[in-house]
Amino acid sequence: MQSATRTFLSTPIEYLKGVGPERADVLKKEAQVFTFGDLLKLYPYRYIDRTKFYSIKDIDNTQIFIQLKGKIKNIREIGAGRGKRLTAMFYDDDGQIELVWFQGIRWLLKSLNTKDTYILYGKPSVFNNKLNITHPDLEVFREDSITREGGFRALYNTSEKMKTKSLDSKGISKLMQTLIAQLKPEHILENLPQDILSKYKLSDRYNAIKNIHLPANLQLQERAVKRLKFEELFLIQLNLLQLKIIRKREPGILFEKVDDKFHRFYHEALPFELTNAQKKVLKEIRRDTLSGTQMNRLLQGDVGSGKTIVALLTMLMGIDNGYQAALMAPTEILAQQHYAGLKELSDKTGVKMAILTGSSKTKERRQILSAVINGEIDILIGTHALLEDEVQFKNLGIVVIDEQHRFGVAQRAKLRTKSVMLPHVLVMTATPIPRTLAMTLYGDLDVSVLDELPPGRKPIKTVHRYESQRIGVFEFLKSEIALGRQVYIVYPLIEESEKLDLIDLQNGFESISRSFPLPDYNVSILHGRMKSENKDYEMARFVKGETQIMVATTVIEVGVNVPNASVMIIENAERFGLSQLHQLRGRVGRGAEQSYCILMSNHKLTNEAKTRIKTMCETNDGFKIAEVDLQLRGPGDMEGTQQSGNIGLKIANLATDGPIIEEARKAAIALLEEDPNLESPENSGLRYYLQHHKQGANVWRQIS
Ligand code: ADP
Ligand code: MG
C-alpha cells in the first residue's frame, strides 16, 4: 500500500491529462510542481463564496470576496485629473456601503442606473475608517444570474508565465479536478495517530486534501484547512520537542552550592529587594543548573524589568562552584555599560571581571586572554567576539547572552570549543513575543518571563505630536533640562535610504544645536557610521551628564541605561515598527522621575502607522504591543522573529492560529511522553511520514 502511494504521488506532472510538455515546464519552473503530489500541495490562497448573499450590515471581514444584492444611488464624479474617481452608494434592506471606481468612469456613468437591482461581487476594504468596495463586479439581477458562476471555489496564485500557458487560477482548478478524480484514499496515507484525530476532531488526511481544493461548502473547506494547519504545526512541535529531548540528554555542569559570593552580593550589595518575577526566574535557573543537564533558557523581560541582576546572580552561582562566566552583549557600548554597571557590584564581592572588546589594546588583550585561560578572571564581558577561537577558558560554566533572541547553531558549536564541558546558556531578550509565537519560534527552549517591573516606576507618558507643534515640544524640553534631566532625540536610519537618513540626522542635529545653543546646552550626536572611539566619547559625555541632549539613530536602541534621561523624542515615528518604538521608549523611565516619550510625525499617516502610534500612546505593556505588532505585520516581519519566514509554513499562520498552535503542542507533548521514539503501532503512520519527509523538517536545526 505504501509503495502505491509513493508511485501515484510521485508520478511526473506531465502524465496528468491536460498538462503536456510545455505546461509541465512552467509548472516545474514557476511553481516547483514536479509530481502529482507537488500539485496537491499547491494550496489555494482564498475561496470565493457565490453560494450566498451577504447583508451589508453583516460585513465584518475585509479579507474575502463577498456577494451582495441591492440597488445603487448617489452616483457621483469627484475630483479632477489623476485624483478623479466615481463613487456611489450600494444599499440593501438594512445597510449601505460606498463603491469607488478610478477607471472606466465615463462608461460606468452611462451604464449604471438607480432603478435595477444588482448583484455585486467584490472585496470590502477599510478607507478612512469606513468600509468601501473598489471596482466591484456588478451585474443586473435576473433570476437565473445567481448561479451563473455560482458555487464555492478555490482561487490559486499563479505567475505571469503560468498565465501565458492558461495556467491561471481557473486552469489550476481544472488540473486539480482531473487529479482529484483519480485520487484514492490509499494514495494519501494518514500521518496523524487515530486518537489525535478523534481528540481534536480532525478530518482524515485524504478528505482534507480533497476538500482543500474542491470543497462543496464552507464547512468542508474549514475542516480541511483546520486539519492541514494542525498537521503542519504538529510536525513542527514534534520536531522542536524532539530537539529539546536530545538537548536534555546533554550532560550539564552542576552548580551544587549557593555560596559566599552569591550570598555576599545578595545580602550585602544588592541595593533593592528582588521582584517576585526575578525570584521566580532565579528558582527556575537554579533548578536547571542542579538538574545535571545543560540549561538552554530564554529569558524574556520587557525593558527595565531587571534582567541584568538575574544574569549576575546566575553567574555568581557558577562562580561559587568554581566556574567562570561569560556575558556577551550585541554592541560594544552595551558591553562597556555592563562592565561599568557590574564593576561596582562585583568589587564588593571580590569577583574578578574583565572586558574584552575590539578596541582593547594588544598588550592588554594578551594579558586578559591569559588570565581567562588561567582561571584568574571570573566574569569575562564582551561582544560576540568572545566566541572567537583565541578566547579560551579554564572552566567556563555559564554563558549569558544579552539582547538576543536566538543563539545559532554555529555559535553553539563554538561554545563546545571554549572549555571542557558545554556551559549553561541563558539568552535574554527585551522583545516580548506572544506566547503562541514563542511556542513555535522557541519551542525547543525553556522560556522564562519577567512579567513584573521593579516597584516605584512611574509609567512613561507617551504622546503624539505633529511637526506643527515642534515649538511647544522644544519648550517642554527646555523645562525638563532646567530640572536637570536629559533627552534623547532619535532619527530613523534605514539601510536602503541610509544616505538621506544621515542627512536628516545631521540637519536635525544642526537645527537642535541652534535651538539649544551653547553655552547653556550641550548636544551629543551618535550614529553607527562614527568611529568607535568617537561613539564611546559621545556616549560617555552623555552618561556623565556633560551633554543634555543626545541626537542619535537607533544605535542607542538596545540596553543603554542612563537613568537621568527622562525624555525620548522619536522623529518620523511613523517610520518605526512597533517593537522598535517600544524598545526606544524603554531607554527612558529608568530613574525615579516621571519620563516622557514624544512621537513626532507629520500629518500624512497610513492607517497602520496610526495604529502603531495609538498603541504606543495607550500602553506600556510590551506583550500587548507585541500582540498588536503580530496582528499588524504578521509573524514573518516581526522584530526578532525574522526566522519565522524561513520555517516554510504553507498553510498555518502564526499570527492568527494561536489556538491551533496550543493544541498541536499539547498533542505533541502527550505523544512524546508516551512514545518518545515513535515505536508503537499507532504511531507507525507518523513514523513513516517523518522518515520520508526529512527535508524541511530540520530547518530548526539551523537556527536553534
Ligand atoms: P533590563 O531588563 O532592561 O535589562 P536592567 O537589568 O537594566 O533592565 O534594569 C533596569 C534598572 O532597574 C536598573 O537600574 C536596575 O538596577 C533596576 N532594578 C533591577 N531590579 C530591580 C528591583 N528588583 N528593584 C528595583 N530596581 C531594580
Ligand atoms: Mg538589559
- Residues with Cβ within 8 Å of residue 439, at least 6 apart in sequence: 237, 661, 662, 665
According to the model, what pLDDT value does residue 634 have? 62
Pocket test for ligand 1, best of 429, 561, 595 (most atoms within 8 A of CB): 561
Angle ∠(385,386,389) on CA atoms, nearest 5: 90
122 in helix, strand or coil?
Answer: strand
Query: What's the CA-to-centroid distance between 147 and ligand 1, angstroms?
Result: 66
> Which residues are found with C-beta within 5 Å of the ion, ligand 2?
559
Question: For residue 301, how far is its CA from the centre of ligand 2 (angstroms)?
Answer: 9
The residue whose CA is least distant from atom 13 of ligand 1 is 306
Q: Is the CB of 278 within 6 Å of ligand 1?
A: yes
Using DSSP bridges, classify how beta strands 461-466 and 596-601 pair: parallel, antiparallel or unpaired: parallel
Q: Is 338 in the pocket of ligand 1 (CB under 6 A)?
A: no
Per-residue model confidence (pLDDT) at position 623: 85
Ligand nearest the Cα of residue 327 is 2
State the sign of the Cα–Cα–Cα–Cα dihedral 100, 105, 108, 113. Answer: positive
Q: Is 301 in the pocket of ligand 1 (CB under 6 A)?
A: yes
Question: Is the distance from the beta carbon of residue 304 to the nearest atom of ligand 1 less than 6 Å?
Answer: yes
> Is the CB–ligand 1 distance for residue 258 below 6 Å?
no
CA of 308 to the centre of ligand 1 (A): 7
Ligand 2 geometric centre to CA of 303 (Å): 7
Calculate how far, in angstroms, residue 535's C-alpha sits from the geometric centre of ligand 2: 19
Closest CA to 148 of 63, 65, 67, 62: 67
Query: Could you tell me which residues are beta bridge partners of residue 116?
Result: none
| Mean per-residue pLDDT pooled into runs of 10, the chain (704 residues) | 70 94 95 95 84 84 79 91 87 93 87 91 84 87 58 84 90 94 94 96 97 89 95 94 86 89 86 94 96 93 89 95 94 86 81 89 92 96 90 95 78 82 91 82 88 86 95 96 96 74 86 92 89 84 93 72 92 91 89 92 89 95 87 57 56 87 96 93 93 58 40
- Give the pLDDT confidence score for residue 427 in this predicted structure: 93
Q: Which residue among 274, 309, 588 is best mutated to probe the pocket of ligand 1, counting the most ligand atoms within 8 A of its Cβ?
A: 309
All cell numbers assigned to 619: 500602553
Q: Give dist(CA 406, CA 429) in Å, integer.
A: 9
Cα-to-centroid distance, 310 and ligand 2 (Å): 10
CA distance 245 to 667: 16
Ligand 1, atom 17, lies closest to the CA of 306
- pLDDT for residue 265: 86
Is the Cα dihedral 367, 368, 369, 372 positive or negative?
Answer: positive
300 CA to centre of ligand 1 in angstroms: 14
Q: pTM of the full predicted structure?
A: 0.74
48 Cβ closer than 6 Å to some ligand 1 atom: no
Q: What is the pLDDT of residue 214?
A: 92
Question: How close is the Cα of 448 to the center of ligand 2, in Å?
Answer: 15
